[in-house]
Each structure stands twice: as structure tokens, then as C-alpha cells.
A and B are shown apart, each in its own frame.
Chain A
Amino acid sequence: MKVVEKDQIISGMLRDEYQRCQEMVGDLERAASALPKGSLQQRKKCYKGNEYSYYFLKYRDGVRSISKHVAEKDVEVVKEGIALRKKYEQQIKGFKSRMAYLKKILGPDV
């Protein structure tokens, strides 16, 4: 946008903001990748007249759908991890939409 390009201080600030968002997306994606993805599901099974239940983590890996057993003792940790990952993903989305907005102002060469 010509108007922004004319003012070096404002365009510099917007470029810095774009760069900061880019860095934050990288940092947040790295932090999120250490957390479990997908959803935690409970399955019930009857065996010899008794009902048993167990948890598994269901997520996608490319085109594959993966179900991974989660031990009873790890259920709370996995639940918290999934919730935290969602928060990270929400923030990443926010930074990405800000970047898209800045790109519109600064042009494709940002």
C-alpha cells in the first residue's frame, strides 16, 4: 500500500510486527508440537459379563487415523495436554490472521 510505504517509521513498525508474529508462530508451534494432539475417547467393552472401559487418543497423521491407548494413570495429563494444545492453536490462529492483515497492508514483499 503506497500510503504506508511513504512513512518509513510506520511501515517499519508494521514490518517489525509482522516479523514478531512470524517468530511467535514458530515458537508457539514448537511448544504445541510437544503436546498431545487429537481427542481423548473412552471405549467400553463387555467381557465375560463384566464391563471394562479404557481410553485412547485418536488423531490424524497425514491421511491415517491413529488410535493410541492411554493408560488410566495418564488420562488427566493427556486431557490437560490436549486442552493446552488447543489454546496454543488458538493463539497461532490469531497471530496468523494478524500476519494476513499486515501482508495486505505491506504488500507481498513483506
Chain B
Amino acid sequence: MITIHPTSTTLHLFPGEVEELLRQLDGIGFFDDAMLVGSWVMPLYRELFGMPYALRTLDIDFAVKIVRSATSLRSDVERILIDLGYLPSVSQSGIQRFSRESFTVEFIAHRRGGRNDGIVLLRNWNLTACPLPFVDILQRFPFRADLGTFGVVAPLPEAYFVHKLIVCQRRRETGKRDRDLEQCETISRKIDEERLAGVMGAVKFSKPVIQALRLSCAAIDFPLQALGIL
């Protein structure tokens, strides 16, 4: 995994509450199995890769690996969040959420193919996660941002870019799709072609996914050749 070390400006990338949360999770080794995803990776991309994007939502998402063999508790993340002042709740669809003031913490996991497995129980972290497709693209290309006293694992921007290009075409809400595309456009300006080729070469895409990539590339005026799609 690539590790990026701090500069003076990267030491306080996140608001206090978020930094406290990330520090605690890093302390228990949560990032061995999980990574920060969603719009909260954008402050990391801005500072570490020079990809400026200011808009972010107030929900903090973590993608967690499903380790089927892990049945014993490694660390009780639910307890840690409650001790940090987060209140647990369960949505009508059974998704576990934790909220504190205006922040909401949610966990997602990779969903294979078209199978709908319902909620995934992560016994080793005492959590449940919402299974979503294409999360593995993010999980296969992590980097660790060493932020001084703690670290955060997030997907490489190129993996995030490909993931967003795909999922934005599956969005029902145009607002979210536009926002995904805007993030892609920001990343595309500073994209590392070698790393992008690495992501594209490691993942096998179905025809509908390639079609989604085509549509998204056309929307942001990104050359398909750079994705290795002709």
C-alpha cells in the first residue's frame, strides 16, 4: 500500500469531530480492514494530490472488507462510537447509522454481482454494513495518508474516479449524478495515467459497465483511450 507522509498543511485536514473519529478508528487498527470513502476523501485528494473539490456531505462512509473467517471480536467499533458521543440508530431498511450533531457515520461493504445479501454482519468489528456493488474497486487500490499522529486509509483517486464513473450512471437522482461527475472532472485534471491503467487492467468490466464508463467519459469530456477502452 502506498503511504503518503504529511506536509504542514495536511495535519488538520478534517474538522475536530471527524479527526477524533479517524484517530480512534486508526488506533484500533480499523483501517487494516476498512477505508474512508465518499466525499470525505476529497480533502485528502485536495491536499495530497492537488485535486481541489470543496463540496462534501455530512455523512462519513467507511468501506469495510468482509472477512468471512473472522468470527471473533477484534474491536467493538459500536462501543467506540457510542463513547465518542455518537448515537446509534437503524434505518427502516435495517442500515446501522451513528449520528453526532450533524455528522452521520455509515458502513458499506462490497456486494458481489447482482446478489442482494441484505445487511452484512461484521462480527470482528461488531458492526453491520450495507452491501453495495463496485465497492471492491475502491478496496483493491488503497493508500494510507499519514497525518502525523494518526493515519487514514482511502482509495487511490484513480480507483475513486473509475468507481464514480460507473456508479453515477446508476443514480436515480440527477443531483447526485451531477455531483459524482463533477468530482470525476476535478480528479481527471490531475489523474495519474499509470495508476489509472493499473486500476483498469486489474478489474474486469461487463458490457453494461463499459457502457456506463463511456457515458460518463462523454459527460466530462474525458478520453476513453485513457481508460483503455476503444
List residues of chain A with CB under 8 Å of any chain B CB. Answer: 8-13, 15-17, 20, 23-24, 26-28, 30-31, 84, 87-88, 91, 94-95, 98
Contact = CB atoms under 8 A, between A and B. Distances in A.
Given A17-B58, A24-B104, A27-B97, A12 B174 contact: yes
Given A24-B97, A94-B102, 6 more contacts: A8-B178, A9-B179, A20-B104, A24-B89, A31-B87, A31-B90
B104 A12 contact: no
Nearest to A30: B89
Given A27-B91, A91-B87, A16 B99 contact: no
Interface in B96-121: 97, 99-102, 104
A34 to B, nearest CB: 10
B55 interface: yes
Interface of B: 55, 57-59, 87-92, 97, 99-102, 104, 173-176, 178-179, 182
B175 A98 contact: no
15 contacts: A9-B182, A12-B173, A12-B175, A13-B179, A15-B175, A16-B173, A20-B57, A26-B91, A27-B90, A27-B92, A28-B89, A31-B87, A88-B87, A91-B99, A91-B100
Prevailing SS type, chain B contact patch? mixed
Prevailing SS type, chain A contact patch? helix
Given A31-B88, A31-B90, A87-B87, A24 B99 contact: yes
Contacts of B100: 91
Contacts of B58: 17, 20
Contacts of B55: 9-10, 13
A56 B16 CA distance: 41
A93 B178 CA distance: 31
A71 B100 CA distance: 32
A20 B59 contact: yes
Contacts of B174: 8, 12
A31 B89 contact: yes
B102 to A, nearest CB: 6
Contacts of B88: 31
